[in-house]
Structure 1
Amino acid sequence: MNRETHITVVSPFYRALSRLLDFPESAMKESLSEIEEAVRNEPVLGETSRKAGLDFMDWLRSGNLLDLQEIYTQTFDLSEKHTLCILHHLMEEQDRAKGEAMAGLIAFYRENGVEYIAPELPDYLPVILECAAILSAEDAHDFLAQSEEAVVILHDRLLCYESPYSSVFGMLCDHLSQLKSPGVSTERGGCMP
């Protein structure tokens, strides 16, 4: 996805989550203040989740870039259980519906003015969050609700793995939960195989 296009961002929070879940680069570290501001200002987020997310950003800020890249690769690229391609968690690899869902995502991106550029697959969570960032609040929620099951699965698995990235998923789970039931923050803590 081309993130340098000039599309109006409706939700800086979704864009912040997208950047936190993308491969760590120096540009991301340089933009941590902007990302932190989006998390601090998100009204639909519980304080426990917000604090965990801010602590995660402090961890990123203090980390050596090569070490952060190694941790990211170990977490997301070398483990199918943690892949950020959400359809992997929802559908069988050979499921024909998976290909149709990928094509549907690409069509959805085009319809909403998002320029999808490979190499990421269209179901790569940072791409999905980037798209949600430009949608109206209601459309973004409806769009992300389709990914919620995979997000919860990933959050639980990352908690078990004791990954610092679990806090990013915790923020997203909490946010989506509060959109369904305003004022109700969910704290997730279980382990899923």
Structure 2
Amino acid sequence: MPGFEMLYQAAALCLTYPDDEFRARLPLLREAAPQLREFTDHAALTDPQVLAAHYVQVFDFKNRHSLYLSWWRDGDTRRRGMSLVRFKDVYRAHGLEFTGEELPDFLPAVLEFASRTGNTDLLTEHRATLEQLRSRLTDFGTPYACVLDAVCATLPPARTGARS
């Protein structure tokens, strides 16, 4: 899906912990990705400590809103190790070496990969997972759902019966 690289980069930043760097980038994110304005406006108007606490509440308690794509399919099993290797292999095949502190299936890392390469295969492969996460975030009532709404809108529909 060409043309969505800026959105993917902005979405990646919106889905990381909202530290001081994130807050400093909010005006740029707002202008670069109008699809994310609902979220960026919310983040800009929310007290930094409240926003950080909300991020932890949404993404760090249990796995109900996990940002680790292979977790949705594999859980905490040995099979997940092979899935993580596959993510690294895809990055490597595009000339990128994954060196982040997070695991390679961390959604912001996958979005950054799509932004840098224009390759949305990993996002498309995990489309059903993204929809499930989007639905759970919507049900939870968090503004982070808007970020998933924008990303999902760029991808082809999930295949019926897809396992993700």
TM-score bucket of the superposed structures, by smaller chain = 0.7 to 0.9
Secondary structure (helix, strand or coil) at the match of 2:133 reads: helix
Secondary structure (helix, strand or coil) at the match of 1:22 reads: coil
1:174 is matched with 153
Structure 2 Cα separation of the partners of residues 37 and 161 of structure 1: 27
Structure 1 Cα separation of the partners of residues 121 and 98 of structure 2: 20
- 2:69 equivalent to 1:86: yes
Structure 2: give runs of 5+ residues left out of the alignment.
Answer: 158-164
CA contact (8 A) 2:30 2:41 kept: no
Match of 1:99 among 81, 84, 92: 81
Q: Once the two structures are superposed, what CA deviation does each residue of 1:65-111 show, in whole Å capped at 9, x if it has no partner?
A: 11111100110011311010111112242252x21110111122223
Q: CA deviation at 1:115?
A: 3.5
RMSD across aligned positions (CA): 1.7
Secondary structure (helix, strand or coil) at the match of 1:81 reads: coil
1:152 is matched with 131
- The letter of the residue matching 1:34 is L
Structure 1 Cα separation of the partners of residues 57 and 103 of structure 2: 19
Match of 2:14 among 13, 20, 39: 20
CA contact (8 A) 2:68 2:106 kept: yes
1:37 is matched with 31
Structure 2 Cα separation of the partners of residues 143 and 89 of structure 1: 14
Match of 2:103 among 121, 128, 139: 121
Secondary structure (helix, strand or coil) at the match of 2:116 reads: coil
Secondary structure (helix, strand or coil) at the match of 1:133 reads: helix
1:68 is matched with 51
Q: CA deviation at 1:172?
A: 0.9
- The letter of the residue matching 2:52 is Q
Identical-residue share of aligned pairs (%) = 27
CA contact (8 A) 1:89 1:153 kept: no
Count residues in correspondence: 154
Q: CA deviation at 1:120?
A: 0.7
Structure 1 Cα separation of the partners of residues 110 and 77 of structure 2: 22
- TM-score norm. by structure 2 comes to 0.86
- The letter of the residue matching 2:143 is P
Structure 1 Cα separation of the partners of residues 95 and 120 of structure 2: 17
Decide whether aligned partners of structure 1 residues 82 and 67 sit closer, same or farther in structure 2, where only a CA change above 3 A counts: same
Q: Once the two structures are superposed, what CA deviation does each residue of 1:115-171 show, in whole Å capped at 9, x if it has no partner?
A: 4224211110001001111113xxx23231012111100000111111111111111
Q: CA deviation at 1:175?
A: 1.5
